[in-house]
Amino acid sequence: MKRSAFLFLSLMTICCLTVTACGDKKAAPKKPEAQKPQKPVSAAPTGTTQKEEVKAEKEVYTYEPKGRRDPFVPLTEVMKAKPQRKKGSAPIEDFDVDELKLIAIAWDSQQYFAMVTLPDNKSYTIKKGMTLGLYGGKVREITRDTVIITEQTKDYKGQIKTKDTILKLRKEGEE
């Protein structure tokens, strides 16, 4: 009995709400809506209404690095700018001295000669006093098992420093 009474009351409540909602438009109070910003409506010709939709535009940020440093590069990194190839220079001057590989050293009664291989797998014979490398390095000395090359380079402060590079001849058991 209790169950049927509850069902009857629920059904009556639903019917009453439906009748009042359909019969009287002013009976159901409306909830206030948030004010939406609207664009000003321009003067429209008489007899027509103009409706404009308000669209929220998504702001897109683009990074322009003009005059700024790269934030992902460490501050203490030394920037090495590779010099441009000089016109009329030998191919041996197109590579850094550290990239040269010493293959052999030969000598006669007057001087020593060394054979080096470049990264492009071309071999060249060098002797004392020759210019090679990107920074104008000079072959200072060639001995039975080493070649000493002296270069003038700039450090991170812009000061000119002398750098000696020693190329050693690989022994038979070494790799």
As a three-state string, the secondary structure of 51-85 is CCCCCCCCCCCCCCCCCCCCCCCCCCCCCCCCCCC
pLDDT digit of tens for each residue in the chain (175 aa)? Answer: 666 766 676 777 776 666 555 555 554 555 555 555 555 555 555 555 556 666 777 888 887 888 888 788 777 765 556 666 667 678 888 888 989 999 999 999 999 999 999 999 999 999 999 999 888 899 999 999 999 999 998 887 788 899 999 999 877 666 5
DSSP 103-121: EEEEE-SS-EEEEEE-TTS
Confidence (pLDDT) at 147: 95
Confidence (pLDDT) at 7: 67
Top CATH class of 56-175 equals: mainly beta
Q: What is the rounded CA–CA span in Å between residue 96 and residue 93?
A: 8
Helix (H, G, I), strand (E, B) or coil at 31: coil
